[in-house]
């Protein structure tokens, strides 16, 4: 028993030094003020070195996304870290959820080669990656082009009506 305790005491400094430092932990989450985003407006935040697209969608954008038959989707999986991994890519499962369907928060990196798509462009009025021609709809779902997956949705939560915490 004393050998186990001694081995643990000897190993602890090595284990402890592997914990992330304060600067790394600070990058783990970011809070974004969305109070200025009216319907139809977007902003890009930065989290873990990646662009994060936050959009307050218009009722027309929401309806356009809801009207898409699931069989028309290239990637049928929501890719939303906030819900089940196998959830379908419905508009609701891609948005911030019930009561907040107008909000969409996504990692702004094309799932083809990591380029940054342009907002409110392309054949479906969502995002367009001019590098290789991937078109995403108003829910960030890949609809056309070489990208294999929908834009990913990071873990996030509303911490108030005007603040979102990502990470």
d(CA 7, CA 135): 56
Asked if pLDDT for residue 19 goes beyond 70, the answer is no
The pLDDT tens digits for 75-124 are: 999 999 999 999 999 999 999 998 999 999 999 999 999 899 999 999 99
What is the reported pLDDT for 136?
A: 98
- CATH 3.40.190.10 for the 21-166 domain, yes or no: no
Q: Where are the domains of the chain?
A: 21-166
The 3-class SS string of 17-31 reads CCCCCHHHHHCCCEE
Q: What percent of the chain has pLDDT over 90?
A: 81
Mark whether 152 is an active-site residue.
Answer: no
Greatest C-alpha distance within the chain: 69
Asked if pLDDT for residue 34 goes beyond 80, the answer is yes
- If you average pLDDT over every residue of the chain, what do you get? 90
d(CA 49, CA 53): 13
Higher-scoring residue by pLDDT: 154, 27: 154
* Predicted structure pTM score: 0.83
What is the reported pLDDT for 8?
A: 55
What is the reported pLDDT for 53?
A: 98
């Amino acid at each position: 028993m004393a050998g186990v305790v001694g081995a643990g005491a000897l190993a602890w400094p090595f284990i402890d030094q592997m914990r992330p430092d304060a600067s790394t932990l600070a990058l783990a989450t970011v809070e974004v003020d969305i109070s200025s985003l009216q319907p139809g407006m977007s902003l890009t935040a930065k989290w873990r070195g990646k662009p994060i697209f936050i959009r307050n969608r218009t009722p027309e954008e929401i309806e356009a996304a809801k009207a898409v038959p699931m069989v028309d989707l290239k990637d049928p999986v929501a890719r939303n870290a906030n819900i089940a991994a196998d959830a379908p890519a419905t508009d609701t499962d891609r948005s911030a959820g019930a009561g907040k369907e107008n909000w969409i928060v996504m990692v702004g990196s094309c799932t083809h080669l990591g380029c940054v798509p342009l907002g409110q462009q392309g054949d479906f009025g969502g995002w367009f990656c001019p590098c290789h021609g991937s078109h995403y709809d108003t829910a960030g779902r890949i609809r056309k082009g070489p990208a294999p997956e929908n834009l990913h949705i990071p873990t996030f939560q509303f911490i108030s009506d005007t603040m979102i915490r990502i990470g």
